Amino acid sequence: MSRTISGRQVPPARDGYARKRFGQHFLHDHAVVRHIVDAIAPRPGELVMEIGPGRGALTFPLLASGCELHVVEIDRDLAARLRAHGPRHPNLVVHEADALEIDLTRVAPPPRPLRVTGNLPYNISTPLVFRLLAALPRITDMHLMLQKEVVDRMVSSPGARAYGRLSVMVQLDCDVERILRVGSGAFSPAPRVESAVVRLRPRRRSTLDSAARNRVAAIVRSCFSRRRKTLRNALRGLCDEPVIAAAGLDPQARPETVTIDEFVNLAHASMDRG
């Protein structure tokens, strides 16, 4: 069940000032950190990757669990500060890299499973989530801090205003649970928006191979880039009316009313007719 922690606003630290170009907002609220670590429940020897460790508010409590922690930090000054703790924390590996570009095989060589967490930079959160979804065969679970509106989209159901491409593609692959709402005062500097922590647990769809999943992705992308249009118009050039009807859908329906299972049926119908 989701909880809300408002957070107490405090002045920024003297060193490690947030850089606007990296979208940095440093978590400092101990209650929020404790709740996230409890939700992750890391174990000794587990492989965990933290994206955007910043000043290490979440990093050091995770290290205390005995997990092998790889942190991905784009800011070279913050990466250097974390690297300086290496002698005291042999289970810490610092990657000075862009999370959108890092090769996960550097972090978790196959077949070793990987757990992912982090306070994702809000300016790249959605493309980063899609990149992590593409790596799901390697990932055991994810606990991510995101802008509240992004989490609203992740957990949204058909017919809701927030339901869209992100909702479908995340829920297609994962069980999604909002576990915490976080007020802006939990960060320094305080963002202008609220945040939330979401848990993603990958699940497998036995009938959905890579080709079908790619077809679902193409259909969903087309639908929600034209979400005000009917399915017939939103899918023009991709699925004709007979295909839409064969999937059990009304060509006059709007994309935001279509369930995830119906998108899967539509993908299979279009492949059968293809």
Which string of DSSP letters, residue by residue, matches 154-204?
HH--TTSTT-SHHHHHHHHHEEEEEEEEE-GGGEESPPSS-EEEEEEEE--
Q: How far is CA 121 from the centre of its chain?
A: 11
pLDDT at 130 over 80: yes
The confidence band for 203, taking pLDDT boundaries of 50, 70 and 90, is confident
Instruction: Give the closest residue to 51 by CA, choosing from 122, 1, 140, 134.
Output: 122
For the chain, give every residue range classified as CATH 3.40.50.150: 3-202
79 near 96, Cβ under 8 Å? yes
pLDDT of residue 11 exceeding 50, the answer is: no
Residue 24: is its pLDDT beyond 80?
Answer: no
Average pLDDT, the chain: 90
Q: What is the mean pLDDT of residues 173-193?
A: 94
Q: Are 163 and 175 in contact (CB under 8 A)?
A: no
Span(s) in the chain for CATH 1.10.8.100: 210-273
- Which CATH number, 3.40.50.150, 3.40.50.2000, 3.30.1520.10, 3.40.50.720, labels domain 3-202? 3.40.50.150
Q: What are 262-272's pLDDT values in tens digits?
A: 999 999 999 98
Label residue 56 by pLDDT band (50, 70, 90): very high
Whether the per-residue pLDDT at 10 is higher than 60: the answer is: no
| Least-confidence region, from 105-109, 174-178, 243-247, 259-263 | 105-109
For domain 210-273, which architecture applies? Orthogonal Bundle (1.10)
Average pLDDT value for residue range 72-87? 94
Percent with pLDDT over 70 in the chain: 90
Banded pLDDT at 228 (limits 50, 70, 90): confident
What's the rounded Cα separation, in Å, for the pair 195 and 24? 13
47's CB contacts (< 8 A; 6+ apart) are 67, 68, 70, 107, 108, 112, 113, 114, 115
Predicted pLDDT at 15: 47
